[in-house]
Amino acid sequence: MAGLDPGLYIVATPIGNLGELSPRAAEVLRDADLLAVEDSRVTGKLLRHIGARTPMTPYHDHNGDRVRPGLVAQLGERAIALVSDAGTPLISDPGYKLVRDARAAGHRVTTVSGPCAAVAGLVLSGLPSDRFLFAGFLPAKQGARAEAIAELAGVRATLIFYETGPRLAAALAALSDGLGGRQAAVAREISKLHEEVVTGTLPELAARYAEALPPKGEIVLLVGPPGDAPPPAPEQDEVDAALREALARLPAAKAAGEVAKAFGLDRRALYARATELK
C-alpha cells in the first residue's frame, strides 16, 4: 500500500492481543506520513512489533485544540493516521473534532476498522445485543455518578461502560442502587491471556467486587436493559363502568370473569364488586 493518498486514516489497533492488528492496519501504519497518537510510548511498542519507523506526533484531550489546525492543514498533501492507545479511535478517546474539521475542510477521511472493546465486551456478555448504548466512563464523583445513572435508567437497551479496577466497586454499587437487580457483566483483559467475564445481577456483582482486590486490566462493564414494565393499574371508575356494561348482559359471575380477563385483575375481587353494583 505504498504511497497512501493524502487524507486522514482512522486506524483501529489491538485491545490486547497484538495478533488482532489487521494486515491493512499494519500497512497504513507503515506507509502513513505521520501518526497522530494518544501516547507515543504505547504506539511505539506497536510500531516496533511491525517493524515500522513512522513519525509520531501527540494528539490527545490536553493538546487537541492547539495542534488540530496544524494537522488539518497538512491533510491536503500528507496521509495522517489517527491512532488511540487501544481499539477504535474516537470510542471514549479523543478524535471526533479532528474528523469533523477534516471533513469540513474537504479532506478525505477513511477508517481502517478493527477491534473495539465495547463491542467485544457486548458479544462476550450474553446480554441482549440488538440494542445497546455506549456511555463511556461514569463520573467519578458520587452525586454526578448517581445523576448520570438516573438519566440512563429508562433506556431500553444494554448499557456499556468503561471502567478501571480501582473504580469498579463504587461503580457497581451505584449501578445497583440506581438500577436494581438487572443482569450485568464485567469483562476484563479482553483478548489477552487472562481474559475474564463475570456475570450476575448488579447486587451480586457489587457484593463480589466490594470484597475483592481491585481487578487489573481494562474493564468493560455491561448492564442489561430493564424488564418489561407492568401495565398501569386501571382506574376504579373505568373498572366499574366495564362491570356495569357486562352486568347488563351477563350474570355477575360471568361479568366478573369477562372484566377480569380484560384488565388482568382478580376475578373473585371483581365478583364481590359486581354484587355491590347490582
Is 91 within 8 Å of 29 (Cβ atoms)? Answer: no
Under DSSP, the state recorded for 19 is G
Q: Write out the CATH class of domain 118-223.
A: alpha beta
The string of DSSP codes covering 201-245 is EHHHHHHHHHSSPPPPS-EEEEEPPPPPPPPPPPPHHHHHHHHHH
Asked which of 158-167, 201-210, 221-230, 251-260 is least confident by mean pLDDT, the reply is 221-230
Residue 264 pLDDT > 80: no
Q: How far apart are CA 132 and CA 193, in angstroms?
A: 27
Mean pLDDT, all residues of the chain: 92
pLDDT digits (tens, 9 = 90+) for 74-108: 999 999 999 999 999 988 777 899 999 999 999 99
Burial of 194 (0-12, 13-18, 19+ CB in 10 A): exposed
17: CB partners within 8 A, 6+ apart: 191, 192
Architecture of domain 7-115 in this structure: 3-Layer(aba) Sandwich (3.40)
Split at pLDDT 50, 70, 90, the class of 235 is confident
Do residues 101 and 68 make contact, with C-beta atoms less than 8 angstroms apart? yes
Element (H, E) at 140: none
